[in-house]
Structure 1
Amino acid sequence: MYPLSGSTSASSAAQGEGEPPGRLPVIDRALVLVAGLVVVAVGFVGMTVGLFGWDAGSTLSWWVAQDPNRGRVLVSAVGAALAVIGAAALRPAVRSAGRDRTIVRSTSLGEVHISVRAIQTLARRAASQVQGIREAEVQVTPSSVGDVNVRVILTVAPDEPIPELCDQVQSRIDQYLRQTAGVSCGQIRLVVRGISRDGHRSRSE
């Protein structure tokens, strides 16, 4: 991976549009996978007890009695499993709440609120319009310097000059957000995740 970063600025008024649902981030997929495995394991044990009459309580008591430390290990494992399930349930809600935040613009007629989600859609659209970009995943967060910080994960076409390509993406995102939404960028950070193996150009709308 080739991380590159830069910063730019701008100002004024705006409007936005919604964002189609995308793939879950890696950490969310991992949490959901582990939580699913835990639930499946618990369900399998419950099914075994019900179908075959296994006395789980007696077996568990005997197993713990062999070594008192086993009880602490068991409680710790159950607690960890419940923590993972809780994290898997809460994290998407927390991320969604963060994306629904807005950037406020004051005009002579009142306030204009631009959602972070709409800005994210615009930034992804701008990045995907640069020739040589195959895929662009965008994360937008409010910034203390400009209006927003933008992080873009890119997949680029083969044989493209990556530094020049990243300069174009940063410049395009900065200009596009200023022109379409009046939003300034405190920082635009790019991460080149991979090189596309096919010749098909993919654009995220």
Structure 2
Amino acid sequence: MVQSLDYLKESPSQTAGPYVHIGLTPNFADIQGVYPSDLGTAMVNDRTRGERITITGRVIDGSGTPLRDALIEIWQADCDGLYNSPSETRGSADPNFTCWGRCPCDLSTGEYRFDTVKPGRVPFRDGRLMAPHISFFVVARGINLGLNTRLYFPDEEAANAEDPILSRIEHRVRVPTLIARKDGATYHFDIHLQGDKETVFFDI
């Protein structure tokens, strides 16, 4: 039976509000007993293969103020360029690496932090290798739909130059908004929502 297209109405989008932390990071929100630890907190253990790195940064609004109630999720390949996913057909990802993490920004400083490994290169749809990168998903009060962006590594210049996603960015002056800043084993990546330094976001 064919049903009318106006039978079910689309629910309106709304901002994440304060409830995103209650639902996704209850321990962070001082709600005990839901999970032993918040999901996504630990991505690695002492048997995880690959180069250990730390990623830190802040989500910054158009006035230059860090958002202190943002929540970030990341998704990346392991050190061999394999994903911990049922759809991964090229091999088995490191079983000691989650490939996924979740972190609420610090309520005082607005800073987030992930302890992870540097990802390997993965193929684009046409088979070309993408540069090592980490996908970011950002939600916060005032953001109706989660924002998607990517972190690329400054010490991967050759790979970045041939990356099929970076090469699609029309305004080349905006490419640096996707490149982290390196300090030893730590990469700093601020996400700017608006303004002159606005980060490139992807419609996916």
Query: Could you say which TM-score interval applies, normalised by the shorter chain?
Result: under 0.3
Q: TM-score, normalised by structure 2?
A: 0.22
Higher helix share: 1
- TM-score with structure 1 length normalisation? 0.22
